[in-house]
């Protein structure tokens, strides 16, 4: 017959096992609860930079997906080497979509050439790669995307590049430089000093290619080009040009164009309506990367 001491030892062992099981169960429940509170689309940690555009392009796309960009968005590359984001929208110059791409580019693009295309179909010069979701999940590397040049280092324009800066105060409008050409390779271009927040229209034949210089040392410029007059009728393509950057020769049939600096009062508004305050977008996603980036992680 077992002694009282032996029975006590056995009981202590059983109680310790039960206590451990209860603790383990509590930990499992806590971990399950924590996992359920995380966003279902919580992305992987961005890839470490290796100084290639392919890695930077993938990180930009991860950033877009993390911020609720439509997963069926078509990603393409045009023949000038611009990364084209095409969410398939049918309204003019969708500012929320443009802002998300611009800010993901600021964080992870390192000067990548990016553009948001409005309209139901891609341009003829755009080569589709896949959907945003498929590319991010597969980790596909997209090559052939160029980087913008610093304007002070740029060459290849037939007109001298201005070197002036600009003040940082908020203003009703500012200016930028466009180099428009009737040739596909930006030859014999015409230099325009354009006022921001105002539709520019050639009123004649279309241009075949262009370059854009942002002289501002602090704020991004969103440059939108239309294959139509009056900055309307759809198919707008918006390029982001960073502070003191030059968008090098870009081939696109263009009749009218529009530029907006981030410190302009009208920034983000529909160019066909002067300084509108109504939100014309149907996209309700809010860009939140500044809030959730911690030590280089999403």
What b/e sequence results for 219-236 when a residue is b if at least 16 CB atoms lie within 10 Å of its CB, and e otherwise?
A: bbbbbbbbbbeebeeebb
pLDDT band at 73 (very low <50, low <70, confident <90, very high): very high
Nearest partner of 129 among 61, 182, 65, judged by Cα = 61
Alpha helices (H) in the chain, listed in sequence order: 4-37, 53-66, 95-108, 132-138, 289-292
Q: Measure the CA–CA gap between 166 and 213, rounded to whole angstroms.
A: 13
- Note the pLDDT tens digit of each residue in 135-159: 999 999 999 999 998 876 444 444 4
Q: Which fold has domain 149-267?
A: Gamma-B Crystallin; domain 1 (2.60.20)
* Residue 183, pLDDT score: 93
* Residue 172, pLDDT score: 52
Average pLDDT over residues 12-40: 40
pLDDT band at 27 (very low <50, low <70, confident <90, very high): very low
Nearest partner of 217 among 271, 263, 249, judged by Cα = 263
* Residue 250, pLDDT score: 96
pLDDT band at 174 (very low <50, low <70, confident <90, very high): confident
**Measured distance between the N- and C-terminal CA atoms of the chain, rounded to whole angstroms:** 64
The domain segmentation of the chain, as residue ranges, is 40-147+278-298, 149-267
Rg of the chain, C-alpha, whole Å = 26
* Residue 202, pLDDT score: 74
- Note the pLDDT tens digit of each residue in 201-256: 876 789 999 999 999 888 899 999 999 888 888 889 999 999 999 999 999 999 99
Q: Which residues contact 82 (CB under 8 A, 6 or more apart)?
A: 113, 114, 115, 145, 146, 239, 250
């Amino acid at each position: 017959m077992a002694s009282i001491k032996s029975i006590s030892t056995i009981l202590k062992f059983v109680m310790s096992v039960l206590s451990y099981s209860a603790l383990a169960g509590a930990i499992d429940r806590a971990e399950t609860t924590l996992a359920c509170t995380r966003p279902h689309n919580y992305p992987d940690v961005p890839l470490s930079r290796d100084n290639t555009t392919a890695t930077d392009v993938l990180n930009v796309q991860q950033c877009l997906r993390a911020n609720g960009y439509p997963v069926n968005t078509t990603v393409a590359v045009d023949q000038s080497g611009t990364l084209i984001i095409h969410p398939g929208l049918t309204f003019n110059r969708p500012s929320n979509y443009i802002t998300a791409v611009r800010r993901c580019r600021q964080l992870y693009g390192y000067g990548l050439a990016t553009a948001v295309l409005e309209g139901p179909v891609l341009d003829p010069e755009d080569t589709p790669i896949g959907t945003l979701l498929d590319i991010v999940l597969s980790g596909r590397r997209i090559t052939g995307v160029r980087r913008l040049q610093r304007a002070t280092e740029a060459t290849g324009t037939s007109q001298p590049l201005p070197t002036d800066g600009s003040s940082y105060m908020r203003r009703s409008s500012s200016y930028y430089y466009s180099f428009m050409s009737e040739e596909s390779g930006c030859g014999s271009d015409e230099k325009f000093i354009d006022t921001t927040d105002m539709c520019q229209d050639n009123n004649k034949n279309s241009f075949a290619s262009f370059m854009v210089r942002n002289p501002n040392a602090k704020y991004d410029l969103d440059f939108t080009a239309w294959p139509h007059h009056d900055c309307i009728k759809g198919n707008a393509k918006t390029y982001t040009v960073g502070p003191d950057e030059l968008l090098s020769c870009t081939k696109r049939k263009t009749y009218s164009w529009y530029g907006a600096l981030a410190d302009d009062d009208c920034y983000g508004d529909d160019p066909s309506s002067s300084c509108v305050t109504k939100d014309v977008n149907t996209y309700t996603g809010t860009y939140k990367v500044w809030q959730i980036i911690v030590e280089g992680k999403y």
